[in-house]
Chains A and B, each alone.
Chain A
Amino acid sequence: MSKKLLKWNEDRTLFPEKNSEGKIDVDYDSHKFMKIWHGPQHPGITGNMSLELTLLGDEVMDCETHVGYLHRGFEKLMERRKYIQCFPIVCRVAVPEPDFNEYCFASAMEELAGIEVPEAAEWLRTLVLEMSRLQSFLAWIGGQAGSLGQGIIGQWTIYLRDLILDRFEELTGGRIYHMYMLPGGVRGLLPDGFRQRMTENLDEIEKFMKDVKKVMFDNAVFKKRTVGMGVIDPAWINPFGITGPNARAAGVAKDVRKDNPYLKYPELDFEPVVGKDSDIYTRADVRRRDLLMTVDLIRQIMTKIPDKGDIRAKTPNVLHWKVPAGETYSRAECTRGEYGYYMVSDGTEYPRRINVRGPSYTHAVALLEKMIVNANIADVAGLMVSLHTYPPEIER
């Protein structure tokens, strides 16, 4: 082992040294470096994504993200299907958060076709999007804790998430793939007793989140492993296209619900949750507070949501709906930031081009590759989860 390797420099930004091409010189024959694959067997909850890591000791020197383990080709599939037939596909673009895909696709169609969605359906859509955010945050928080060794949090939050999935099942007929928002409206009004059961669930979530705060966030070990780790420089926000809690934790108050109001958000009282330090801990805390704000938003929505009314506007026959030629971009704020569908219609029964702007792509590829350098191999899963990415959304 060379003397140079043993000499520890506290300023890790100097490492790894880059050559004139901006790449690190890796000489595997020197036995200083080691290449390992992180994933794709669900390290943390990062799903099918895998990282090709180059290590120097236990320190990451280089990372190449590989997202090619899904091969679903969602966007291409949609070009071969009639608009209505895209719905069973779009909800699978982000498995844990299918509703944003449904909403963005439906609203893009509605915008191109000039269709106005009934009031009741607008409220129900708002409710479903917030429910989706809530269950996604709950799934994530368990993953974040689990990736840093706190399995108990995952047990609690998966239980809490199940309560919301029960409500989804009751409202939409599905637990994971809801298929609730079709172009023109939604598929049903609130069932009898829904409000009461939802209120009980929200109470339970709020109660448990107090314990989550104590066990996870007011925890010396968690703080030791997350404070100051994985900092996103606010200067990266725009160049990397960072949105949602990842941006808000860096002090940049990006929130589509405020920046480009849609559905019934303008009628709700809320302010985006913002952090300051931009490290893993801050991002986690921003999401925890965002989760609690979502609970509050659902309470607000439930006081305003109508029990009666039309749930779907009159639309052309979905079997051969020719969406007027044009293009549009429809977006919404999901748990991970800005979700968007860029839809191009050439006036036929099939979409000409669909491009999904999922927040995972921007966060999980270039940003992760930049942030992960100099991280300890033990922190890779925690860092990765802190960006909150969903692999199917990356490889579309």
Chain B
Amino acid sequence: MAKLNDILSPFTAWKHVVREPVTIKDPLNREAADRYRGFHKNDISECIGCGTCESICQNAAIDLVPVEGVDTKDGDSGLRPRVDYGRCCWCGLCVDVCTTNSLSLSNEYTWVDEDPDSFRFVPGAENKSWDNREKGYKKPGNGYELYNPKREAMEELEPEKRDQSFIEIVQGYSKEQAEQEADRCVECGICVATCPAHMGIPEYIKAIRNDDLNEGLRVLYDTNPLPEICGRICTHKCETVCSVGHHGDPLSIRWLKRYIADQNPAEEYKKILNTENLQPTGKKVAIIGSGPSGLSAAHYLALMGYQCTIYEKLPAAGGMMRFGIPEYRLPYEQLDKDINYILSLGVEIKYNVTIGKDITLEELHNQYDAVFSGTGLHMGRSTRVPGTDHPKVYQAVDLLRDIVLGKEVPVEENIVVIGGGNVAMDITRSLARLQKQKYGKVGVLATSLESEDIMPADREEVIEAREENAVIDPGWGPVEIETEGDKLKGLHVVKCVSVFDENRRFAPKFDEEQKKFFPADMVVESIGQGMDLSYLPEAFKEQLDMDQRGRILVNDDFQTSAGWLFAGGDIIQGPDVIHGIANGHKAAMGIDKYLSEK
């Protein structure tokens, strides 16, 4: 028998009859919450088309597509994400992982259209009503990161332990450090396009993560036969465009490359790289200069079976890598590790041979099937301000070469270096070390036209130079080197207010009112280098296609108008080791094409 209460109690429901309905009258115009994950927005001026959003999307709802008005350039693929709302599940992981924070979701959630194709669109490129909505889902703050934005610190010698010697500063990564740094990579490949050699950067970084360093070495050697060298002194254009660097520290690609090369023993290279049994073609190639382009060309030609002979003017191989870069940045043993492997492939180097003097270009042409020239930029340029003809004014490249050759280098107590590039920093820091050895103190100052923010030297070079007690005082233009007989008094400078004109052409402007005087006993000029093509006979030069500035013109295969002569490296596209390596590689393929068709 039911209780009376159980019969009456349900009538309580009737009290709600007079209650105001809670139904939303116009649900399409209900504003969503501030964080709502609605339709996509993308600031395409910030986006670099790295494709990380595409790679995280498990629904394959995002494709990277070309967009009108967006060009491919360094650090920007020129592509932009297109979202397909037939696939998107609005999880928002694309927003969380976006390396530039350009992608977000508006809190708009209604979209009516008769055309189903319209629901596949490129946010930011196709105007939508929600583009200017402030509200919506954005990447959370409070340390919320899907990858680590902080770079794994590199251990370096303390300034006080390094400022008297030329021992290597950078210590290199341990296995754990390398794997943690490699873990930060988002595999976007933006770096590959920017690297002149188009190295397989994501692949070798992946090899580190997989602890497969043999595979890493194979990837390195696909495009770069000087990994120990590049792993130390490459200008790492890849890092300047690294997508992780937009909101964090760029990946330490250079040190990771070095880690792979360091961990693979030299005696196993041929086995790992499967170069124990190369098949000779019977053809011979002469290479002038053993710098990065010459060594690179020799390496790839040797792999293809060509007998290569390198003619080197100096008593050791490496070109500017050995005679321009101080040992504290690039130890000779590491340089030799790369070079010796190339020699092990059958490449021969004839040292102390000057082309045009010991052997002529014509003789090379007659003795070999093709010739490659990568003679580099070994001649220092002068500011030509009054006083530069004084005997205590030197060229940086000459001093750096003399240090390597073990010659006695003049070192005064007060030195001024003119220049703000890497060579200027190299000579500044080298002289600082020599001063410390000789006088127990450092008295070197480097000044440049460029202000600190646009100095061409790598940032770490400037920082480390200061740590070693060198003074860097940028933003000044040299006016005159004051001398008094045999003595050099110092350098007069005026303020440089701008270096380039509106067309980015070199056109420095000065404020003559702002003057400074840097006292010095010795001045070193380091404002760039020039090439020495004196080994080319004048008659031959006249036949060769050259530009107005006297540079040899080459085609895409780095072949000159002479046909049998190829050229690359700094004299064509420098000054940069990685450009030289890339040139050498392309030239090797060009020579192979030329000789195959011959």
Most chain B beta carbons < 10 A, residue from A173, A218, A310: A173
Determine whether the beta carbon of B91 is less than 8 Å from that of A177.
Answer: yes
Question: Given known contacts A223-B6, A317-B147, A317-B186, is B34 in contact with A88 (CB within 8 Å)?
Answer: no
Determine whether the beta carbon of B184 is less than 8 Å from that of A220.
Answer: no
Does B570 belong to the interface (CB within 8 Å)?
no
Chain B residue contacts of A171, Cβ below 8 A: 35
Does B2 belong to the interface (CB within 8 Å)?
yes
Does A219 belong to the interface (CB within 8 Å)?
yes
Known: A156-B16, A170-B35, A317-B183. 13 other contacts (CB 8 A): A81-B58, A88-B93, A169-B32, A173-B33, A173-B92, A174-B36, A211-B15, A218-B6, A220-B6, A312-B142, A312-B145, A314-B143, A317-B148
Most chain B beta carbons < 10 A, residue from A152, A185, A219, A310: A219
Chain B residue contacts of A189, Cβ below 8 A: 142
Chain B residue contacts of A309, Cβ below 8 A: 142
Min CB gap A51→B, angstroms = 29
Closest to B136 in A: A173
Min CB gap B500→A, angstroms = 39
Does B407 belong to the interface (CB within 8 Å)?
no
Determine whether the beta carbon of B55 is less than 8 Å from that of A312.
Answer: no
Min CB gap A310→B, angstroms = 5
Determine whether the beta carbon of B34 is less than 8 Å from that of A89.
Answer: no
Closest to B15 in A: A211
13 residue pairs A–B, Cβ–Cβ below 8 Å: A88-B58, A170-B35, A179-B92, A215-B12, A216-B10, A218-B5, A220-B3, A221-B10, A312-B143, A318-B97, A319-B97, A319-B187, A320-B206
Min CB gap B12→A, angstroms = 4
Closest to A348 in B: B210
Residue in B9, B137, B143, B146 whose CB lies within 8 Å of A84: B146
Tally of A-B Cβ pairs under 8 angstroms = 131
Determine whether the beta carbon of A159 is less than 8 Å from that of B22.
Answer: yes
Chain A residue contacts of B90, Cβ below 8 A: 174, 177
Min CB gap A42→B, angstroms = 22
Determine whether the beta carbon of B7 is less than 8 Å from that of A220.
Answer: yes
Closest to B144 in A: A312
Does B479 belong to the interface (CB within 8 Å)?
no
Q: How many residues of B contact A (CB 8 A)?
A: 47
Determine whether the beta carbon of B183 is less than 8 Å from that of A320.
Answer: yes
Q: Binding site of B, secondary structure by majority: helix, strand, loop or mixed?
A: loop
Interface residues of A (CB under 8 A from B): 81, 84-89, 152, 156, 159, 166, 169-174, 177, 179, 182, 185, 187-189, 191, 211, 214-216, 218-221, 223-224, 309-312, 314-320, 322
Residue in B7, B12, B37, B206 whose CB lies within 8 Å of A174: B37
In the complex the two chains form, what is the Cα distance from A329 to B223 in whole Å? 46
Chain B residue contacts of A182, Cβ below 8 A: 96, 146
Determine whether the beta carbon of B35 is less than 8 Å from that of A319.
Answer: no
Q: Which of B88-109 contact A (CB under 8 A)?
A: 89-93, 96-97, 105
Does B507 belong to the interface (CB within 8 Å)?
no
Q: Which of B310-324 contact A (CB under 8 A)?
A: none
In the complex the two chains form, what is the Cα distance from A361 to B7 in whole Å? 37
Does B140 belong to the interface (CB within 8 Å)?
yes
Closest to A156 in B: B16
Question: Given known contacts A179-B92, A311-B143, is B2 in contact with A223 (CB within 8 Å)?
Answer: yes
In the complex the two chains form, what is the Cα distance from A2 to B137 in whole Å? 69
Q: Which of B130-152 contact A (CB under 8 A)?
A: 137, 140, 142-148
Does B52 belong to the interface (CB within 8 Å)?
yes
Determine whether the beta carbon of A173 is less than 8 Å from that of B58.
Answer: no
Determine whether the beta carbon of A311 is less than 8 Å from that of B140.
Answer: yes
Chain A residue contacts of B22, Cβ below 8 A: 159
Chain B residue contacts of A315, Cβ below 8 A: 146
Question: Given known contacts A89-B58, A211-B13, A318-B147, is B36 in contact with A169 (CB within 8 Å)?
Answer: yes
Min CB gap B27→A, angstroms = 11
Determine whether the beta carbon of A317 is less than 8 Å from that of B185.
Answer: yes
In the complex the two chains form, what is the Cα distance from A86 to B89 in whole Å? 12
Question: Given known contacts A211-B13, A218-B6, A319-B97, is B58 in contact with A310 (CB within 8 Å)?
Answer: no
Determine whether the beta carbon of A219 is less than 8 Å from that of B142.
Answer: no
Chain B residue contacts of A84, Cβ below 8 A: 56, 93, 146
Min CB gap B191→A, angstroms = 15
Does B236 belong to the interface (CB within 8 Å)?
no
In the complex the two chains form, what is the Cα distance from A24 to B515 in whole Å? 109
Determine whether the beta carbon of A211 is less than 8 Å from that of B12.
Answer: yes
Closest to B34 in A: A191
In the complex the two chains form, what is the Cα distance from A196 to B476 in whole Å? 62
6 tightest Cβ-Cβ pairs between the two chains A and B: A85-B58, A220-B2, A317-B147, A218-B9, A220-B6, A173-B35
Closest to A183 in B: B146
Residue in A81, A188, A211 whose CB lies within 8 Å of B35: A188
Question: Given known contacts A88-B59, A314-B148, is B91 in contact with A219 (CB within 8 Å)?
Answer: no
Determine whether the beta carbon of A215 is less than 8 Å from that of B9.
Answer: yes
Chain A residue contacts of B495, Cβ below 8 A: none
Chain B residue contacts of A191, Cβ below 8 A: 33-35
Min CB gap A223→B, angstroms = 6
Does B299 belong to the interface (CB within 8 Å)?
no
Chain B residue contacts of A89, Cβ below 8 A: 58
In the complex the two chains form, what is the Cα distance from A64 to B15 in whole Å? 43
Min CB gap B145→A, angstroms = 7
Q: Which of B518-533 contact A (CB under 8 A)?
A: none
Most chain B beta carbons < 10 A, residue from A84, A89, A159: A84
Does B401 belong to the interface (CB within 8 Å)?
no
Min CB gap A83→B, angstroms = 11
Does B40 belong to the interface (CB within 8 Å)?
no
